[in-house]
Amino acid sequence: MPRPPHASPQTLRLFEALLADPARWRYGYDLSKETALASGTLYPILMRLSEQRLLETGWEPSDEPGRPPRHIYRLTADGVTLAEQRLAARRPAQSPRRAGPVPQTRTAGGAA
């Protein structure tokens, strides 16, 4: 069965990082450090999410002359919803404990 879109381990790591504070704008470099994703993996995911309107993007001008503006990212409302769904689906379902007899242990010198 094919994997649902936006459920790769790399995308899920990015979702976790972005969901830590969904309203905060994030730099790609910081996301790369936090997720341990190489730029060749991270930036295509960011572009794909942006094209699908799951991620807002913007430019932050530099305070230093001669430095270019920096690209910033954050999840849209739809992105937050999808990220939460994908991360919830990844977690293994809690299996109910089976009721049954409690095993008896023997003590070191005799009968239980």
Query: What sign has the CA pseudo-torsion 24, 30, 32, 35?
Result: negative
Question: How large is the angle between the packed helices 28-35 and 39-51, nearest 10 degrees?
Answer: 120
Spatial separation of the C-alpha atoms in residues 74 and 23, rounded to whole Å: 7
CATH architecture type of domain 9-90: Orthogonal Bundle (1.10)
- Closest listed residue to residue 82, CA positions, set 22, 27, 39: 22
Domain residue ranges of the chain, discontinuous segments joined by +: 9-90
User: pLDDT per residue over 31-73, tens digit each?
Assistant: 999 999 999 999 999 999 999 999 999 999 988 889 999 999 9
Instruction: Flag whether the pTM goes above 0.85.
Output: no
